[in-house]
Amino acid sequence: MIYMDNAATSWPKPPSVIQAMTDYMKNIGANSGRSGHRLAIEAGRIVYETREAVAELFNISDPLRIVFCSNATEALNLAMRGFLKVGDGVITSSIEHNSVMRPLRALEEEGVEVTVVNCSSEGFLEPTDVQTAVKPNTKLIVLNHASNVVGSILPVAEVGKIARENDLVLLVDAAQTAGAYPIDVKAMNIDLLAFTGHKAMYGPQGTGGLYIREGIGLKPLKWGGTGSRSEEERQPDFLPDKYESGTMNIVGLAGLGAGVRFVLSEGIDKIRENEKNLTQKLLDGLLNIEGVTVYGGLDVARQVGLVSFNIESVLPSEVGFQLDEEYEILCRVGLHCAPAAHKTIGTFPIGTVRLSLSHFTTEKEIEETIEAITKIALTSKL
Ligand SMILES: Cc1ncc(COP(=O)(O)O)c(C=O)c1O
């Protein structure tokens, strides 16, 4: 079996992730930040060490400014709902995931003004178009760091500069880059960074989070028990407790910590280089097949490890079915939760076939995948 669906969720996970989760379940199991006994302290240590590892990955000085959430979607909702008020303006791009678009459309119905800046048909964004879209009421810019449909990398650092110059807040959806591409919140002027733990950070499902720069106040998404200031009926005003009500996913965070430590020990530059080489091989192979259209910029320097394509006159769902049934190659087909992105690249409503890599993908797997797609393309012509 060849797993080519890492942009949805990565698999396999490093053995250290499974080990960390098993260790917690077998030997610790207690709640963090609640009771004061030794197991609770151990659980709190695990959560804090995960915070520290994530802080190191994104060059965040204070690990307590990282709020853990159940996924990137929750982190994005917290950022957008917590920050925007009626009458505020927000700028986003035309290749966002529905985890950005749907909360924004809901906020639009409540009186927030949403401006969508068009990307090119390859999925790229011109920073000057963002500058042009700034209005007197604009408060926030929301961008995905890389598209989950074509893999195009957006100019986050350049837009960060524009945000700073215009006194705007920049929220980055790093679901497709966190762990796979270098992110430095300071150098890139990122004010809010939403990440997911279960993709290139190699943690389990149910993990993710939001970095909140000092000086940015958000309304919480939920209120409740935090284990701190128990004497108060009001929510604590300090981070991360203000946004982390309820028992945390400690087993998940144990795994996420191990996943991030795996990324740090491999080295983000090495991971990126490996994925670039694999992506190049995949692009070269696909571009050589007659009847195959590959979307995006076709330039690995500006693309993460995922490739979208279609075979002439074959529906993506049919290609995905054949890859799974006949070749045991697992991928994702359709709209990938990002209809706006498909309208931008011209593949709406049919969508694309998406192959997505991880650090564990091998060259042999890429070769076998190209071979299988070549056969499907050939038989479709008969
Ligand atoms: C660009 C992008 N944003 C947000 C998400 C949502 O991530 P999660 O499923 O962790 O909420 C995804 C997941 O596919 C994504 O690709």
10-residue mean pLDDT profile of the chain (382 residues): values are: 98 98 97 90 97 98 98 98 98 98 98 98 98 98 98 98 98 98 98 98 98 97 91 93 96 98 98 98 98 97 98 95 98 93 93 98 98 95 73
> What's the chain's Rg over C-alpha atoms?
21
Q: Is the CB of 249 under 6 A from ligand 1?
A: no
Bin 267: left if φ > 0, else alpha if -120 < ψ < 50, else beta.
left
What pLDDT score does 227 carry? 86
What pLDDT score does 365 carry? 98
Q: Is the CB of 204 under 6 A from ligand 1?
A: no
Q: Is the CB of 177 under 6 A from ligand 1?
A: no
Taking the CA of residue 197 as reference, the ligand 1 atom at the shortest distance is 10
Residue at token pair 């290609």 = 319
Residues 11, 256 contacting (CB under 8 angstroms): no
Residue at token pair 């995922």 = 306
Q: Which of 153, 196, 202, 332 to mutate to test the pocket of ligand 1 (most atoms within 8 A of CB)?
A: 196
Q: Is the CB of 356 under 6 A from ligand 1?
A: no
CB-count burial class (<10 Å; 0-12, 13-18, 19+) for 85: exposed
How far CA 66 is from CA of 32, 52, 148, 169, 191, in Å, comes to 16, 9, 24, 17, 12
* Closest residue by CA, ligand 1 atom 7: 72
What pLDDT score does 380 carry? 85
Q: Give the distance (Å) from ligand 1 centre to CA of residue 208.
A: 10
Q: Give the distance (Å) from ligand 1 centre to CA of residue 31.
A: 28
Cα 276 to chain centroid, rounded? 18
Model confidence pTM above 0.85? yes
What pLDDT score does 33 carry? 83
CB-count burial class (<10 Å; 0-12, 13-18, 19+) for 56: middle
Q: Is the CB of 303 under 6 A from ligand 1?
A: no
88 three-state secondary structure = coil
Q: Is the CB of 148 under 6 A from ligand 1?
A: yes
Q: Look up residue 348 and give its amino acid.
A: F
Q: Give the distance (Å) from ligand 1 centre to CA of residue 230.
A: 34
List % helix, strand, coil for the chain (3-state, nearest 5).
Answer: 40, 15, 40
Taking the CA of residue 71 as reference, the ligand 1 atom at the shortest distance is 10
Q: Give the distance (Å) from ligand 1 centre to CA of residue 37.
A: 37
What pLDDT score does 351 carry? 96
Q: Is the CB of 54 under 6 A from ligand 1?
A: no
Q: Is the CB of 308 under 6 A from ligand 1?
A: no
Q: Give the distance (Å) from ligand 1 centre to CA of residue 40.
A: 31
Q: Which of 78, 176, 335 to mutate to test the pocket of ligand 1 (most atoms within 8 A of CB)?
A: 176
What pLDDT score does 35 carry? 83
